[in-house]
Structure formats: C-alpha cells, structure tokens
Amino acid sequence: MASLLNKKADMKKGTLFWILFFMGIQLNGQISTQEMPYGLQYNLVTRDYPGEILLQADKNKISSMAIDKDNLPMLAGVSLPVEEIFADKAIMVAKHETQSVWQLKISVPQTALLGLVFSNFQMPPNDKLFIYNEKGDHFIGAFTHKNNSPHGLFSTTVIPGSTIIIEYVTNTKSTQQLPGFVIDELIYLPGERFSCDKMDKTSGSCNVNVNCPEGDLWQKQKRGVTRILLRAGSTWFNCSGTLVNNTHQDGTPYLLTSDHCGSTASEEDYQVWQFYFNYEHPQCFDNGDAPLDMMLTGSTLLASAPIDDGTDFKLLELDQAPPDTWNPYYNGWNKLSRTPGSGTSIHHPSGDVKKISTYKSELTSSTFSGGMQSGYWRVVWDETVSGHGVTEGGSSGSPIFDEYGLITGTLTGGSASCSNTQLPDFYGKFYRHWQSNGDLDTQQLQPWLDPDGDGPERLYGYDPNATTNFVHTGVEPPFSGSVSGGGYYAHGEPVILNATPNDGFEFDSWALPDQENSLRSQKHFEFTMPDHEVFVQANFKQLTNITTPQKQDYELSIYPNPATHLLHITLKHHPGKISFTLIDLLGRPALKKEKYMDQQGYFSQQFDLSNVESGLYLLKIRLENEILTRKIIIDP
C-alpha cells in the first residue's frame, strides 16, 4: 500500500489502573453520573414514537469515501444531518409530581455505531439527559449542567445499534419549558468497519496489545496516548495522539498529534472532537470489551504545521483535563537532534484498542513525500515475542518514543502492514516541530511547551497522581557504555534499567553508591522506587583481546577543540564507509553521521553542534577495520 495515511484495515502493571478505573467510572465516564436511564429502569421504552426521526445513509457513497486518498487519516464514518430542536419532537412518556420523562427516537436502517452532536446545549441544574439503544444493552449518561460549555456544542460517545433513544428528565411537564438544545447531527460509523458491535479487534492480527510483555517498560507512557475520533466537515476520522508535558509541569491538557488529522477542520469541528483514554485490554490477549467510558470532548487548536514543506504536527488544548481518577500521564519529550537508538510507538491502529510497536535499531533521518527536507524519522519495526507490531490508518498522530521514554516524533505515514512488516513508516521529528516550521507561535511547539524560554533539551513526563523522584544513572569508566530507563518515577513504582556496553567493553556490574553490598551482575536491573532520588551506576570493563594496529595508516585532523558551534574533521584513509558518533559521559549518542570517503580516500566536513549540550564527549570514528577515538570539549 502506498500510504499509511489510508491503510485498511502480566506483571501487576494493570492492577492500579483497573482499581482507579472502577472507582472513576462511578464518578466520571464522559463526565457523567453513570446511572441507568429511567426508561430502562421503569420499562418506559415503547415502539410507537409519533415523532420518530428516520435517517438514510448512502453506504455506497461512504464506501467510496474509504478509498485511499492522499493526506487524509483513516475514514471512520459520516455525519447525518438532523437539525431538529429536541423539544419540538420529543414526547412525554411518564410524569410524576416533581418530574417528567421525555423521549425521542432516531433510527437508521443498518446497524452502526451511533452518536450525537448537539448545539445550544445548556442544561438547567437538576435535569438529566440519557442516550441508549433500543435493546437497552448500551447506554450513556446522565449528562447534566456540568457538561455545559460556553460554545454550547456537545458530542457523545458512540454506541452500537440501528436506533438510539434520547431521554430527558426534567422538573417541568411542558415542552415549552424544555431547554432549546438542537440535535445537529447523528454520528454514523458503519457497522461493517468494526467487529460485531464493538470498536476493538479491527486492526491486523500481527499487532501487539500494549499490555503484552513488550509494554512492560512503557506503562507510564501508554497512559498519555489517546484514540481520537475527529470531525472535519461532515466526515469523521480515526487518529491517535498523546498528552504532552510542558516546563511548568502543571497538567495543562496539551495534546500532540499530526496536522493531517483534521487538517481542514474548523473551529466548530475541534469543539466536538472526541478523545478516548485508557481504551485498551487489561491483559495481553483480546478478551471482552475495552472501556469506552473515559472520553473527553472538545479542543482548541494552538499550533500546527502541514506535511507540505513541513513536519506535520498539531498541538491542541483539550477543553478540560482528564480527571486524575483516569490515571493520565503527560508524556515527556526530547528536542535534541540525536538519532534514537531504540524505542516504541503506542497507537490505535484502525481505531482499535491500544497497541505497541517496537524498533531495536537506530532511526534514520529522512524526508516524507512533499515534507520538510530531512524533517522525518524513518523506522522499520522489529518482531517481538507477542507479534510484529506495525501501524495502520488510525495510528496517524501517535508518538514514537526513544530509548529514554521521551517523545521524539509523530506519525505521518508509511507502508508498514501485517503483510509487509519490513516496509518503513515516517514520523515528523519533534525537534523540527519545535521551531523549524515558521516564526509564529501558531507554527511552533516552543511557545506552548516551554513558555518561559527555559530551553531544556529534554523534559520528562508529569504524573498528576504521584510525587516523583529522579533515577540518575552513570557509567564507569566514562564512555564505556550507556544506561536506559532513568528518569522520574513515583514511590513504589517498578524501575527497570538496561546496560549496553560500547565497542571494546563488556558489562560488569551495577552499583548503588549509597548502599553497601549493592553490586548486581545482570544487564537487566529492576528495583522498586523509594521515596527519594536514586543514583545507579553501571560498571563496564575493557575487553582484553582487543588488538592495536601496528601501523597508523591514516591522517586525522579535528579542530577546533574545544569547539563552539562547529567541529571540522578531515581524514585521509582508504576509500570506504566511515561513521562518526559523539558520545556523552553517560554513554548516550549526541550526534551520529555516516559518510563515505571519496575515491582518493579523503574526507572533510563541518559538523553542526548547535543542538549539542556543552561538556566533555568522546568522538568515535569507525573505519572498515579500525575504531578511532578522541576526546572533544564542547563549550558554546
């Protein structure tokens, strides 16, 4: 397939979330009371509705819309116009001394997932609104005055069926006193695009649920990733996105996705977008329905850049922050230009439950068709123990994380699929999103994610439910290897560190300098986070079977050293491939380039250091049969 934009279609990690979920569902859902509708409680549903609204959907037209189109996310469904005032059509089905119950039925010929969009939505105190299907096996509400917003727009979670009933419970007995909210449209998501009457199990069989073993190290990051059901005009699409942290670390509900997810959306469209949190199976296998209750509606566009000559990002602010009972996490980010060596993407392929895809080798800098030159990361996914996670339509906008658990890009497109797992995908680079798409605040991430201009090169995530402390990591001797897994953790949270030796070294042991007898000899080190910050050191030792060349057959010049913004390297050697890696004191690559000597065995180039922190580095130069190392000081 030519473009991903339109592809068709455990340890105790889950315990805390599901406790919080079942606590929260009684209070929130789509910020509703979660009580049963009166019509179902007291058997008030009747088949005879004089004011029933019958709608028709052109399934052939919808099918033709699903054909691949460039620069569009995955089609989910369409809007069917209703444009009726509820009070003009509703009938009273029950009354009491203090309350009356009003109902209106809307039907379509075919089973689908159905939702509603209201305008002029202003509920009086003490009134309640419910939505449910004719079978009564799916219902949402009650919605109350707490769902009112200044713009008066409100969209509801979709439920399965061919008929939905709108039920209003009020203290008045006259339609003239009912609120004047308007049913603008029916959200119609055709049933054949989903499995049975649910939205899950719609992606390819190779995909990996986020709570499989591959997700063990990514339990924090997954909590920020959302499924997006978005409207652009009269059409609804599937995308993915993530909550993102800012330097104030105050839980401002910023959400990062891709610009092509609703690139033509209006301000009114953004106000009815739907964001589904924790839409996942609690275990590795598909079992039962994933929760759809934790959904927020409404957002405002803050900044964006298109695919054309840009890096395809969009930053939204949600109308309200997800409740703490939903256990949200605001993902951190890395705005350095260094190449990520490994990591994952967490996403909702084809609108399915949350999945995870894994890469184990370095991303490569690339250009997506029509996009900014070298503005994208190219990734090829790796097979893992539970499958071979890829991406699909609906994954667009999802974050790709580096080995430190930080966002390093957002998904634009590609060709990977369950039938073509070795084909690449492309993610707009986060560090290019930062300030490279224009000079306006509406074209950059920096004014929103770093409003005071503090200039951090990376920022770890924010957990509103936890007091966190930092896990610092180091290596000994310097430049001998690297450690992944450091960062902020909550008290009692599992910490998993991994050590990777550099060429010429092997792993020896872990040490916690503030503890006696703390040496551990496995590369994989797990412990429970205490209530204070921790420093963990990985010890490496040099291999003894390294042979030193007897004769120096190269001419190397590196200047200036110390360097400021540029480093000039000239090398005369045998013709062939040459790679340069600049490594910091923690063993992390800060800059990596691969080049070729010319036919005379000569190489000369300047390297831009503007995105590299000041400090002491090791420059590793890999030739065909030899590795050269030099210490470099960078002091901008």
pLDDT in tens, 590-606: 888 877 777 677 888 88
Q: What SS3 state is found at 22?
A: helix
Q: What is the DSSP letter of 19?
A: H
Query: Do 468-542 and 555-634 show the same overall fold?
Result: yes
Give the model's pLDDT for residue 195.
41
Work out the mean pLDDT of the chain and round it to a whole number: 85
Spatial distance between the Cα atoms of 431 and 202, rounded to a whole number of angstroms: 33
Give the model's pLDDT for residue 604.
84
Mean per-residue pLDDT for 430-455? 96
Q: Which fold has domain 213-449?
A: Thrombin, subunit H (2.40.10)
Catalytically annotated residue among 260, 281, 388, 433:
260
Give the model's pLDDT for residue 15.
38
Spatial distance between the Cα atoms of 381 and 146, rounded to a whole number of angstroms: 44
Give the model's pLDDT for residue 498.
83
Task: Among 20-29, 79-88, 255-264, name the one with the lowest average pLDDT.
Answer: 20-29
Q: What share of residues in the chain are helix, strand, coil (percent, to 5)?
A: 10, 40, 50
CATH 2.60.40 fits 468-542, yes or no: yes
Spatial distance between the Cα atoms of 218 and 209, rounded to a whole number of angstroms: 12
Buried b (16+ CB within 10 A) or exposed e, 519-553: ebeebebebebeeeebebbbbbeeeeeeeeeeeee
Res 233 pLDDT > 60: yes
Tell me the per-residue pLDDT of 450-507, one tens digit each, with 9 for 90 and over: 999 988 888 989 999 988 888 888 888 888 888 877 878 888 777 888 888 888 888 9
Considering 193-202, 289-298, 343-352, the range whose residues carry the highest mean pLDDT is 343-352
Catalytically annotated residue among 200, 259, 269, 312:
312
Binned at pLDDT 50, 70 and 90, residue 627 comes out as confident
Task: Report CA 314 to chain centroid distance, whole Å.
Answer: 12
Residue from 75, 100, 99, 77 nearest 90 by CA: 100
Task: Report CA 35 to chain centroid distance, whole Å.
Answer: 31
Tell me the per-residue pLDDT of 374-411, one tens digit each, with 9 for 90 and over: 999 999 999 999 999 999 999 999 999 999 899 999 99
What residues does each domain of the chain span? 31-193, 213-449, 468-542, 555-634
Tell me the per-residue pLDDT of 114-173, one tens digit each, with 9 for 90 and over: 999 999 999 999 999 999 999 999 999 999 999 999 999 999 999 999 999 999 999 876
SS (H, E, C) 579-608: EEEEECCCCCEEEEEEEECCCCCEEEEEEE
Res 62 pLDDT > 60: yes
Name the pTM for this structure: 0.76
Buried b (16+ CB within 10 A) or exposed e, 144-174: beebeeeeebbbbbbbbbbbbbbbbbbeeee
Spatial distance between the Cα atoms of 129 and 167, rounded to a whole number of angstroms: 6
Spatial distance between the Cα atoms of 619 and 173, rounded to a whole number of angstroms: 80
Mean per-residue pLDDT for 251-277? 97
Res 11 pLDDT > 60: no
Binned at pLDDT 50, 70 and 90, residue 63 comes out as low
The CATH-assigned architecture of domain 555-634 is Sandwich (2.60)
Q: Which amino acid is at 602?
A: Y
Buried b (16+ CB within 10 A) or exposed e, 219-256: bbbbbbbbbbbbbbeebbbbbbbbbbbbeebebbbbbb
CA dihedral 30, 32, 33, 36 (to 10 degrees): -70
Mean per-residue pLDDT for 548-556? 60
Q: Is 260 a catalytic residue?
A: yes
Res 515 pLDDT > 80: no
Spatial distance between the Cα atoms of 427 and 408, rounded to a whole number of angstroms: 9
Task: Among 330-344, 373-387, 569-583, name the one with the lowest average pLDDT.
Answer: 569-583
Q: Is 396 a catalytic residue?
A: yes
Mean per-residue pLDDT for 265-286? 95
Phi, psi of 393 (to 5 degrees): -55, 140
Mean per-residue pLDDT for 171-194? 80
Binned at pLDDT 50, 70 and 90, residue 13 comes out as very low
Catalytically annotated residue among 396, 417, 482, 484:
396
